[in-house]
Amino acid sequence: MAPTYDVIVLGLGGMGSAAACRLAERGVRVLGLERFGPAHDQGSSHGGSRITRQSYFEDPAYVPLLLRAYELYDQVERDSGREIALLCGGMMVGRPECRTVAGAVRSARRWDLPHEMLDAAEIRRRFPAMTPRDDEVALYEARAGLLRPEAMVSAHLQLAAKAGAELRFHEPALHWEELPGGRGVRVRTGQNTYTAGQLVVCPGAWAPELLADLEVPIEVQRQVTYWFRPRGGIDAHLPERQPVYVWEQTGGVQVYGFPAIDGPDGGVKVAFFREGGAPCTPGDIERTVRPAEAEAMATAMRRIAPDLPDTFLRAVTCMYSTTPDEHFVIARHPAHPGTVSVACGFSGHGFKFTPVVGEILAELALDGTTAHPLGLFDPRRFTAPGAPGAAR
């Protein structure tokens, strides 16, 4: 007889590990399945750091989820004993009318979030490593900062296991299906077949494979993050002197960066946000980073932080799973509303929501609903007649 659980979670990266944690803490029998090892570097939840911020330029509708996520950062740190967040401040930089700045201002004002507006001279004074043009400004948010993704995933896995979840690594799901009459789900792997009353699917870049019937046109894109050693050392880039930032340049190109958090030899991490993201699949992504890619990054950084790209240290690839409108998909599966919940299409800006997405998924699976606002994330927005980006 197939082993039976209350809930099976497919994928134990950022969102799946959080879902397994919240489900297990509610006392149900949880099975988590992951194709790689714990806190691996083959998907989207790695790379040492992720920006977190509340004055959200993407849409003010995200802010309530961010406020809850911040509460859960503290809880996860207390419960696991791991440091996952460093709130060193953050800037959204560019011309006042650009999306990065104007959108952040809109969210800050809509939700009355503490923030400061800095002109170019004030940016240079407070953060001497930065060299904005005279017509650039910044929204500065003291509560912004960074998360350590591997530590976050590991903390959620630790807490899930402590609460009784059965976590199986190196065991990818090959197929899942709803049982006749909506009486649960069946999941087949290379090792076994399992059944459960509920299924939670957090597939990351494997969404096109595992959620084909969701009919969401997700494009998986190769992205690269880079580490450089600044000229003269890292002192000007330490967290007490340098915030995280997203900087919109000419033509809408965004670059983002972090303070130096990995010691004198660890360098400083920077990247383009979505720029040059070549379509790929998890099976054919090019993991080698070419010298021309590193030089393009260095060229962009010389304009805003001239001392930073002195010596290229290394680069790491990851994958964005991007929807046409760059908003998430978090919902009950429209074709299996009684048994399957999904979280995918995080479009390169989802990791900061990890703990609250886990909470939402646990509520959807066990209660059938959630009080968190999910209207922006309904997958049916892509399949309604005439919907932009609708699957054909």
Question: Which pLDDT score is estimated for 388?
Answer: 56
State whether residue 159 is helix, strand or coil. Answer: helix
Question: Which pLDDT score is estimated for 192?
Answer: 96
Label residue 159 left, alpha or beta by phi (over 0 means left) and psi (-120 to 50 means alpha): alpha
Question: Which pLDDT score is estimated for 377?
Answer: 98
d(CA 390, CA 392): 6
For 256, residues 6+ apart whose C-beta sits below 8 A from its C-beta are: 51, 244, 245, 246, 247, 270, 271, 273
Tell me which H or E stretch contains 154. helix 149-162
Q: Do residues 221 and 322 make contact, with C-beta atoms less than 8 angstroms apart?
A: yes
Q: Do residues 174 and 193 make contact, with C-beta atoms less than 8 angstroms apart?
A: no
Question: Which pLDDT score is estimated for 250?
Answer: 87
Q: Which residues pair with 322 in a beta bridge?
A: 219
Listed as ranges, residues in the chain with pLDDT below 70 are 1, 386-392
Q: What is the pTM of this model?
A: 0.96
Instruction: Fill in the DSSP letter of residue 111.
Output: T
Q: Do residues 73 and 355 make contact, with C-beta atoms less than 8 angstroms apart?
A: yes
d(CA 322, CA 270): 20
d(CA 157, CA 392): 38
Q: Do residues 144 and 87 make contact, with C-beta atoms less than 8 angstroms apart?
A: yes
Label residue 215 left, alpha or beta by phi (over 0 means left) and psi (-120 to 50 means alpha): left
State whether residue 123 is helix, strand or coil. Answer: helix
Longest dimension (CA), the chain: 70
Place of tokens 């090792």: 191
Place of tokens 């886990």: 358
Question: Which pLDDT score is estimated for 247?
Answer: 98
DSSP sequence for 13-44:
SHHHHHHHHHHHHTT--EEEE-SS-TT-SSSS
d(CA 18, CA 334): 23
Task: Kindly report the average pLDDT of the chain as a whole number.
Answer: 96
> Angle, to 10 degrees, between the axis of helix 63-80 and the axis of helix 149-162?
60
Q: Which residues pair with 198 in a beta bridge?
A: 7
- Closest residue by Cα to residue 72 from 122, 26, 21: 21
Structure tokens belonging to residue 186: 């069946």
Where helices occur in 173-216 by DSSP H, the ranges are 207-210
